[in-house]
Amino acid sequence: MTKKDVSFVRHDTIPPSPPPASETGLVKWMRQNLFAGWFNTALTVLAIYFIVKFCLFAFPWFYNGVWDAGSIKECREILKAAGKQTGACFAVLVDRWDHLLFGFKYPADQYWRPTLAFVLMLVAAAPALFYMYVPRKFLLFTALYPFIGFWLVWGGSLWVPLTILVAIIATAYVFRAVEQLQVGPRQVLAGIVGLVAGVGLAYLLYLGAKELWFISGSMGSGGVLSMLFGLLFKAASIFMFVFFIPMGIFVGYAIYSDAEDGGLVTVVTALFAIYVMLAYLLGPISGAINSVIPIELEAVPSRDMGGYMLCLILGSVCVSLSIPLGIVLALGRQSDMPLIKGVCVVFIEFVRGVPLITLLFVANVMLAYFMPPQSNFDLILRVIIMITMFSAAYIAEVIRGGLAALPKGQYEAADSLGLNYTQATRLIILPQALKISIPGIVNVAVGLFKDTTLVSVISMFDIVGMIRGPIQQSTDWISIYWEVYLFAALVFFIVCYSISQYSQWLERQLATDHG
């Protein structure tokens, strides 16, 4: 009798067993992130203890909040009548929401204008921020929005911003035309532009020297600090008196000698073109058109702007202007021309070494000394100039880091293609440098947006100025703090967190890690 051995052969694989409960899902995440070792476990337990303790402390204050009252005294009476020991007085947000958002002087029947401008800003930002998903033709509205937004918020004639738009378009055509000129005609143009720029700069330096000398004489004898500032202004005035003619000659020669490359003469010619159009043609043209086709909104002075609206205006405008100015400063700092490089280095290092609050005081007080008599230089415009300069100096250093990170082969590749400086910078160098610089630029933008609250120290009623001034100093809401400041913190956090999340998303889309 024989024994037959039959082997069993599987025709399919054994299905995998499910992982242990401790190695998947929420339990795994908690083990890896909260309880990975005794030290992390101790920190987690300690953090949970303080969070629970804070929530138990703060929850009654939020839960017992009063939303319907006409004053802080009435809020306390309502809480006392309900037998509650603590509670927030959120009624101040209901009573003064318009002041917190729009200021206390902006016409109440015109609130729809800044509200519509804000909604349109979100629509206009979408094609630029999400360009990979929004058709490029919608960028036309993005380009038109600054002029529409300006008209909605400030009011006045519609033809003023439209005339400015036409001037900018004409300037772009001038820039393109000069860039495409042959070397011979460009040398002739560079000679004319260099002569005008040299004479103009020398004249401006002469006027500036006279103003500085006048300021030094009016400093008075108010102490050691006043005497030091007076000596400083006198030294600057003497320096400008001595060098205003050599500086004019040097600038004119620098523009002329750059004719072959074309970058400097192209930019200066475009700046001359837009200056002439804005200074001499804007008023007559817009006024003539408005007399035939009047399209106007109620004009609102800049002094009537306030609340969170003012912070949004300053933040969005200054960030939008400081990025291109920072690019110019970063490129100027890397220039081979000693004058251009020196001016950019001095500007960047000086602005970075001065607190923003000092520049705001200069914008509020000192700029009036350099204006012609009886001139009215808009305060918001002065503040925008100073904040833009401050932010541009920091953005310039961020972009300079991006330019330095590019390998030398990128510059050599641009030269091998026969591109001039302007074309190589616009088409090859800047796109790569800006992609690398995204985190730093966003960091500066977030800091700048929060720094707009500093305008409250020069008597501008932004959201913090409204809280410290008309709200807290009123008899109805005197000594109220937490509710209004938490509201201000919340609206700033929403914007800043959104910017941060967008920058991280954009980095992932552009793969800025070079991995």
Q: What is the pLDDT along the chain (515 residues), one digit of tens a residue?
A: 455 555 666 777 778 877 776 677 777 788 887 888 888 889 889 999 999 998 888 888 888 888 888 888 888 888 888 888 888 888 889 888 989 999 888 998 999 999 999 999 999 988 888 888 888 888 889 889 989 999 999 988 889 989 998 998 998 888 888 878 787 787 888 788 888 888 888 888 888 777 777 777 766 555 666 677 677 777 877 877 777 788 888 778 777 777 766 667 888 888 888 888 888 888 888 888 888 888 888 888 888 888 899 999 998 898 888 988 998 888 888 877 777 788 888 888 888 888 888 888 877 776 666 665 555 677 888 888 889 989 999 999 998 888 888 888 777 777 777 777 777 777 888 888 888 888 888 888 888 888 888 888 887 888 988 888 888 888 888 888 888 999 999 999 999 899 888 888 888 887 655 44
pLDDT for 68-95, tens place per residue? 888 888 888 888 888 888 888 888 898 8
Pinpoint the residues of the chain covered by CATH 1.10.3720.10. Answer: 98-154+302-515
Q: For residue 297, list its beta bridge partners.
A: 156
pLDDT for 129-148, tens place per residue? 888 888 888 888 988 998 99
Helix axes 139-154, 112-129, angle to 10 degrees: 160
Kindly report the average pLDDT of the chain as a whole number: 83
Residue 117 corresponds to which amino acid? A
Measured CA to CA in angstroms, residue 280 lies from 171, 233, 332, 419 at distances of 15, 33, 29, 36
Residue pair 90/487 in contact by the 8 Å Cβ criterion: no
Domain 98-154+302-515 has CATH 3.30.43.10: no
pLDDT for 312-346, tens place per residue? 999 889 888 898 899 888 888 887 777 778 888 88
Distance CA(11)–CA(32), nearest Å, equals 39
